[in-house]
């Protein structure tokens, strides 16, 4: 194991991660779904999501008609 992997395992005991599944239509499980592992949410609204992924990338998702998303705690 690499030192970075060991450090991330130790940190995972103290911080909560989330699995975010975003569907751009009303059906989950089809080809347009996107899945992210989220460290931190900045904004959660009906038409806008802003969050930080596990790789420390900031992602913003907008939907004109609203977003369908599921958040699961890991």
**Digit-coded pLDDT (tens) for 15-58:** 888 999 888 776 666 777 889 999 999 999 888 999 999 888 99
Q: Note whether residue 8 is domain-resident.
A: no
Q: Note whether residue 47 is domain-resident.
A: yes
What is the 3-state composition of the chain as percent helix, strand, coil, each rounded to the nearest 5?
A: 15, 45, 40
Q: Note whether residue 4 is domain-resident.
A: no
In the structure, what pLDDT confidence band is assigned to residue 1 with cuts at 50, 70 and 90?
Answer: low
If one counts the domains in the chain, the total is 1
- The helix (H) or strand (E) run that includes residue 37 is strand 34-44
Strand order through the sheet with 68-73: 58-62, 48-53, 34-44, 18-23, 68-73
Q: Note whether residue 66 is domain-resident.
A: yes
Q: Note whether residue 1 is domain-resident.
A: no
Q: Note whether residue 36 is domain-resident.
A: yes
Range of the domain at 67: 16-73
Q: Note whether residue 55 is domain-resident.
A: yes
Flag whether pLDDT at 68 surpasses 90: no
Q: Does the pTM exceed 0.85?
A: no
């Amino acid at each position: 194991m690499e030192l970075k992997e060991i450090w991330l395992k130790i940190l995972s005991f103290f911080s909560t991660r989330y699995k975010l599944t975003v569907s751009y239509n009303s059906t989950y499980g089809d080809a347009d779904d996107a899945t992210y592992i989220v460290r931190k949410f900045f904004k959660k609204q009906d038409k806008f999501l802003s969050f930080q992924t596990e790789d420390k990338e900031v992602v913003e998702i907008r939907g004109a008609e609203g977003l369908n998303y599921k958040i699961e705690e890991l």
